[in-house]
Every structure is written in C-alpha cells, then in structure tokens.
Structure 1
Amino acid sequence: MCSLLCICGLLGGALAQAGVTAERTRVIFPGESHETSLLLANLNAYPVLVQTWIDDGALDSTPDTAVAPIMPLPPVFRMAPGERRSLRLLFTGGNLPADRESLFWLNLYEIPPSESVRNLTPEQARLVVTMRTQMKVFYRPKDLPSSPEAAARKLAFSVRQEAGRAVLRVENGSPYHVTLANLDLRGSGQGQVLRGDMVGPFAHLDLPIEPQAVTGKNQVVFTWLDDDGNTREDNAPLH
C-alpha cells in the first residue's frame, strides 16, 4: 500500500505547526504487556488526516519501509477539530534484548485539508502542508534491575582527551536510556554549560568542552528527563 507520506509534499516548517499532540512526550512500553496506548488530541481548528508508524530511527523511514516490533493502530485515521482519541500500540514480537531497554520512534504525520493552503502562492498550493512529529518509544523488558531514577543518579562523569580535544565523558552503566537536558560544569575552572543528549544502556557519551572549563576539583550539575518527560536535577563529582 502506498503511504500518504509518499504522495504528499512537505512544505517548510515555518508554514506548518503540529496541531496533533500527545498526552506524553515519550512512551514507556512495559515488556510484560502486549499492548499500551497513547491519547492524542487535535488542537487545530480544522480536521486532519493522521498517519502513524513506528521505526528504528532511520531518518528516511516511511510507513512502507519502517522496521519495528511495535505497531500503532489505527495506522491512518481522521481527527475532527478538538477531537481526542486513543492510539493503540501493539507488540508484534521479536528478539529484543532482555537485559536492557530498546529504543524506537513513533511518527505522527498530520495532513490538514486543502482549504488551509488557500493563502499560499499557486506554486505552494500544489503541495499539502504537513507536519511530522516524532516521539521516543522505550521498550522496557520485565524485571530490569534498579530503576530509571537510579540510573540517572549513577552516571559517571570524567574529563579525557579524544582525538586531540578535551571531552566530558558520560558513562551509563545501567540498562536504561538516560536523556540529559543540559550539564553545568562547576568548580575552580571557568565552568561551562553543555547541551545534553541521550546516553544508551551500557554506553557512553562524549561532549566536547573547553580545556579551561575544568581545573582542580569540579562537579557536574545536570538535568535529566524522567518517564513522564519532567526535568529532574542532580549533581555528581567530576573525575
């Protein structure tokens, strides 16, 4: 089946704003369940057609090429202005690691009616103004040790040289993904605020820093996102 994504042009982001929003910023799929759900709401003043699919993070993914063991249902549906509806996420099976989380991406592709492009130029009007939103889906196996909160608080931070440059290494020795919002290096050096990123299970993240940012005894004050997408703040020594 040819996807709606294949036949609709994508206009610049400045002309499109996501109106279909989800109740959460991320989905935690518990390994002991075969299904979970996500509540969506159409905040637009007009109806939209929504197409959904889950992939493994490939940037060029489409509903026809997506590879993931989780299927959203329904894959295509219409939402009236102000309508709320539940999107089902079904686990279809697969050999996923049992000792750590697996990460997938839920795509929400909304297509407004053609009336919404009447004020565009004739050339632009040939395209349909669309918006693609992506959300993280964490498949969490049953009986993982510890907790996501403990994982964030047990991150290890150190400064080292990689390829001739100074980097802050963040090591995650847990089976959970940890999403860092930002990191503030504090101590006897001049300090530096860094933009965060996600650290995978049993993996590390290297963030470039200024050599003079850390001297002597230092600590890292960092914010991270919990399962509900809320920011939490913690601190740790810098080795």
Structure 2
Amino acid sequence: MKHTFYQRAVGFFIGCLFLMPAAYSALSLDRTRVIFNDEEQSATVMLMNQNAENPFLAQSWLTDDRHNKVTTPLMVLPPLQRIEAKGYSLIRLVKTEQISQLPTDRESLFYLNVREIPPKTDKPNVLQIAIQSEIKVFFRPRGVKPAKDEIWQEKLIVRKTGNTFQVENPTPYYITVSGILKQPKATRANPASLLKGNAFMVAPRSTLSVEVNDGTVDRFYLYYVNDYGGHLELPFTCAQNQCQPAIRK
C-alpha cells in the first residue's frame, strides 16, 4: 500500500514538472567564448538582464579545464553583482601573479560560469530556479599569436580506423568541432551527420578519437568554431585512411 502511494506521489510530481513552463534565462552574455590575449591586462564580457520588471543578482566564477573552481591565475571581478531590469554590466577577467605558471607555447582553457539569482517572491507555491551559463575562456600567450587571417583549423589531420576518426590537432590552439557532415549544409536542408556524438574540442598538440556512422567516406565537411563564435565549413578529402582539408584558393 505504501509502495503504491509512493508511486502515485512520484508520478504526480513528474506530471507537474511537465506542466511547468520552460525555464527562461533572464541574464545573457554577449558572446559564447572569450579570447584573453596575454598582452592585455584584462578581458571583459557584457552581461545583460533581459527581464523588463525585476533585477537579478549575477554570481560569477572561473573553473579550469577539469571544471575545478579557481581564483588563480585568472580571477573574476566582481564575483557578485546586481543588474537592474533591462540593465547591463561588465564582468572583468584579470590576471594574477600566478599567470607566469601557464604554458607559454600553447593556449590554456578555462570556463566562465554565471549563475543568475532571481529576486525573492512573496507569491505562494512558486518554484524559483537559478539558471547557470558557461562559456569557454582561452588564454592565449604571446608566443602563439596567430598571423593575420591565419586559419589554423586547416592544419587538422583526420585518420580513419574503422568507424573511428582520429582527429589530430598539431597547433597550439584549442579547436572546437561543431559537426561533421557527409554533404555541405548549403546543398541540403538536413545533411546526414557522420558524428555519433555531439560537438567536441581537441586540445593543442593532441589527438582525439571520435566515433562516426560511416568510416568509408572519401570526403566530408567539418564545421569548426572560430574566435568570434562563427561556425565555418572546412571540406576534407581522404587518400586511403588519411584525410586532410581541401584548401580552397
């Protein structure tokens, strides 16, 4: 009897969740990634409150590439701030003395986390949800500054092993791949995806294995994310088991 009551209670709770409206994020960032160049003393991100009626608190912090919270060698200012309705503010990322401990021959990865804290409500039976956003922060040392108009993603090498792609990144930059398609997006409304999983990121001077639906293809179209958050196309052609970008001139 108790077991039946428990099942009904859980079912009622889950049903209520489905009836709830989708959570709406009031705070938004003005970009999806931050490039922090070593020659700069700080990097800024704009934070906007889309809510027209209520102020929100914004709690901000940094995590490292393993998602551990850090306050060095970069820190966030301010860690907590109030943003008025339809207002905006800035988050500053600043270097600390420990910045010299980061590698000088490659990028370092961090994550900027922002949690919005809604104002307290006096309405009964209201469930408030603190929504959290996360974007990548790439610290780029002086020694790896790219040349003007350089497209380092064109240096990617893909090796086919069965239904696995070994994606090699020989560059000092992180490379984010948002998709791999059999046909370019421009030719079809919904081109077939080769990836079994989601988007992925390859660390500097490393190789990552990704599963694909068809390892026999002799060409494909890889989409990467550039410094400005744009998704750009890079066609690849394969000779036997090795694939490289078909550079357009």
With normalisation by structure 1, the TM-score equals 0.78
Q: Does 1:101 align with 2:93?
A: no
- Name which of 8, 33, 56 aligns with 2:64: 56
Offset from partner CA, 1:140-199 (integer Å, 9 cap, x none): 0013164595221111111115xxxx311111000001111100246xxxx752243111
1:20 aligns with 2:41: no
Task: Describe the SS at the equivalent of 2:151.
Answer: helix
Q: Which has the higher contact order (CA 8 A, sep 6+)?
A: 1
Return closer, same or farther for 1:57/1:111 CA change in 2, 3 Å cut-off: farther
* Contact 1:22/1:39, CA 8 A, preserved across alignment: yes
**What is the root-mean-square deviation in Å for CA atoms of aligned residues?**
2.4
| Counterparts of 1:57 and 1:44, CA distance in 2 | 32
Q: How many residues align?
A: 207
Q: 1:93: Cα distance to partner?
A: 3.0
Preserved contact between residue 157 and residue 237 of structure 1 (Cα < 8 Å): no
Do structure 1's residue 168 and structure 2's residue 176 form an aligned pair?
no
Q: Determine whether 1:47 maps to 2:44.
A: no
From 75, 86, 95, the counterpart of 2:90: 86
TM-score (norm 2): 0.75
Structure with higher Rg: it is 2
Q: Which of the numbers 180, 204, 209 marks the counterpart of 1:206?
A: 209
**CA 1:205–1:82: 2 relative to 1, 3 Å:** same
Which ranges in structure 1 are unaligned for 5 or more consecutive residues?
1-11
| CA distance in 2: counterparts of 1:145 and 1:39, whole angstroms | 24
| Structure 1 runs (4+) greater than 4 angstroms displaced | 12-15, 145-149
Is 1:33 matched with 2:40?
yes
Q: Identity percentage over the alignment?
A: 30
Look up the match of 2:189: none
Q: How does 1:189-204 map to 2 (within 5 A)?
A: 192-194=193-195, 195-204=198-207
Letter in 2 for 1:16: A
* Unaligned stretches of 5+ residues in structure 2: 1-16, 184-191, 243-249
Whether 1:178 aligns to 2:175 is yes
